[in-house]
Amino acid sequence: MTFILKGDWPDAECMDCEKKGVAFRHWGPLAPAGVKVLNCGECWAKRQEYYTKHGAPKSLPVHEFFAVTVGPESCSLYRVADCQAAGRLVVEKIGLKGQGGAPVGAELKGGNLVGITRVGLQLYKEDGYPFMYQENGRPFSGETIRRQQAEELNVAHWGGGTSPIVALFASKGAAENCLQQENLRPCDERWHMETAVVLRAIGETHQTFIISTGKLRLPFEW
């Protein structure tokens, strides 16, 4: 079933750009299954363009995900949430299998951005020049500015980090199931699909969760 209502709701917040001013309320092919989406006119057009190109609805912005990591003697489960989901940036260990490392309940400190890298989740702070990058010779707009990636900074700007990532998940239950499996390894191919879904949902312009695309890129296509 498809439902599209066009109007003007100046105090409602667009679910994509998260700015006030909604022109469309809709569900159907342009919205994730079971979700009624509120969009401004610009984001509505972007959803139409995305659906035409990919044949599937564009994901809603990600404010929380779960990561399973693997170290020499233990595997861990982390909840990662930005200010929209938790009121502050949170990278908290919520599960542990094996011995060693930080206990359950420990949080990573030392940054306001979370790098998603080949070596693990990495907290870090930019060095003061987030606006210096350009796209096709033109500066990024304020809405799409690309944050500096962890590998572009001196490690003096890095805070706490995790062991290498096994997989990323949108749901806690799926991540807990992964944690209980045997022979976990970095970028485990058993969960490439789940990891790719999270990475695509985060995208290239998230302002807190930053996917490395250079030398610390996760070693598979998403």
55-83: pLDDT as tens digits: 888 878 889 999 999 999 999 999 999 98
What's the mean pLDDT in 144-165? Answer: 89
pLDDT exceeds cutoff 50 at 142: no
Which ranges in the chain belong to alpha helices (H)?
A: 41-54, 83-86, 172-179, 192-202
**Which residues, including other chains, have CB under 8 Å from residue 12's CB and lie 6 or more apart?**
20, 21, 22, 38
Q: Distance between CA 125 and CA 127 in Å, rounded?
A: 7
Phi, psi for residue 116 in degrees, rounded to 5 = -105, 105
Position with higher pLDDT, 166 vs 53: 166
pLDDT of amino acid 194: 92
Most confident listed range (25-39, 142-156, 164-178, 194-208): 164-178
Q: What is the pTM of this model?
A: 0.76
